[in-house]
Amino acid sequence: MTEVVHTPRVFSGIQPSGGLTLGNYLGAIKRFVEMQENGVESIYCMVDLHAITVWQDPAKLRHATRELCAGYIAAGLDPEKSILFNQSQVSAHAELGWVFNCVARMGWLNRMTQFKDKAGKNREKVSVGLFSYPTLMAADILVYHATHVPVGEDQKQHVELTRDIAAKFNHDYGVDFFPITEPVIEGAATRVMSLRDGTKKMSKSDPSDMSRINMTDDADTIAKKIRKAKTDPDGLPSEAEGLDGRPEAKNLVSIYAALSEQSVDQVLSEVGGKQFSEFKPMLSELAVEKLSPMSAEMARLMQAPDEIDAILRKGADKARVIADPILQKTLEIVGMVR
């Protein structure tokens, strides 16, 4: 069998399961914009079908989907350059997701740490969708034959599962159809941690608003959250090794590095020796400087929800042109009469 070379194409998504956080921005959206600017064909989705794996109030879900779109655009994604749409408007995702439910093995999904974290002790009571989430995510990516997926560190395992699904499908049906997608996990803050607990990921669905910085927080709120962020009593070290075993300190320095586009070592050469009482106001100022133009633009875009909906519909039309033939070909490969 000759190996098919897939044209580079980027896909990624974010759930409208709440407001956007600084973690989503640094781990995902900032990378999305860079990839768009590199000129690679890119497709960025608001994955609303993933959001309902846990209960969402319908009105809040609609609002969060539009706000997520506003966040994408405010951060620099251009609907003329990238395809922006919400997942549920392109039914090929869910259809391919079913096929992948029949390709992925229970044992593979049982190993997914996101499910373990989100289900906790409640395994019997969570939705079936929360468990099979990664097969739908594999479909999101592979229905576009995407070759690269920019994500935060927490999604690495799901992209690896996507690769396993692609490889098993290709093997079982004797084809070279789906690409083996590469995760793209880059930058100084690929895993932004909670401001309240340096061992827990910052998440938009965390019940504590003090655990995260939202892209829509105003300057006072950002300053308050950073002032109250957990730290240890020591000052800042001059080299990265000095942050080992100090998750909260490491987190704040990494956020500063990512926002100022420097490495952790570069930041420490500037701030090493300072106390947190001095560093925290510097971090607040930087965060406000970077986030406030985006939150202002988000608020402006949210004044015209009809325009956002029109962008999503247009994006979905473009997405279907790519996804539908790939789904049809998949169904033909597996033996469905066409």
Nearer to ligand ATP, 74 or 99 (CB): 74
3-state secondary structure of 154: helix
Annotated catalytic residue 118: yes
The beta strands (E) that lie in 40-154 are given as: 41-46, 83-86, 148-150
Locate tokens 């490491």: which residue?
250
The encoded tokens of residue 152 equal: 């935060």
Compute the least distance from the CB of residue 223 to ligand ATP, in Å: 20
Compute the least distance from the CB of residue 64 to ligand ATP, in Å: 10
Residue from 9, 10, 11, 17 in contact with ligand ATP (CB under 6 A): 17
Annotated catalytic residue 230: no
Nearer to ligand ATP, 36 or 155 (CB): 155
70, 84 Cβ separation under 8 angstroms: no
Nearer to ligand ATP, 93 or 204 (CB): 204
Name every residue whose Cβ is closer than 8 Å to that of residue 266 and which is 6 or more positions away in sequence. Answer: 257
Annotated catalytic residue 204: yes
d(Cα 109, Cα 119) in Å, to the nearest integer? 13
239, 189 Cβ separation under 8 angstroms: no
Catalytic residue from among 118, 168, 274, 318: 118
- b/e 46-58 (16+ beta carbons within 10 angstroms → b): bbbbbbbbeebee
Residue from 9, 30, 145, 204 in contact with ligand ATP (CB under 6 A): 204
Q: Is the dihedral of CA 263, 194, 150, 65 positive or negative?
A: negative
Instruction: By CB under 6 A, tell whether 35 contacts ligand ATP.
Output: no
Instruction: By CB under 6 A, tell whether 148 contacts ligand ATP.
Output: no
Instruction: By CB under 6 A, tell whether 192 contacts ligand ATP.
Output: yes
Instruction: By CB under 6 A, tell whether 27 contacts ligand ATP.
Output: yes
Compute the least distance from the CB of residue 92 to ligand ATP, in Å: 20
Nearest to 83 by CA among 92, 74, 72, 93: 72
Nearer to ligand ATP, 27 or 71 (CB): 27
Applying CB under 6 A, the span of 24-32, 100-108, 167-175, 253-261 interacting with ligand ATP comes to 24-32
Write down the number of H helices and E strands in the chain: 14, 5
Catalytic residues: 118, 201, 204
Residue numbers of the site for ligand ATP (CB under 6 A)? 14-15, 17, 21, 23-24, 26-28, 151-152, 154-155, 190-192, 201-205
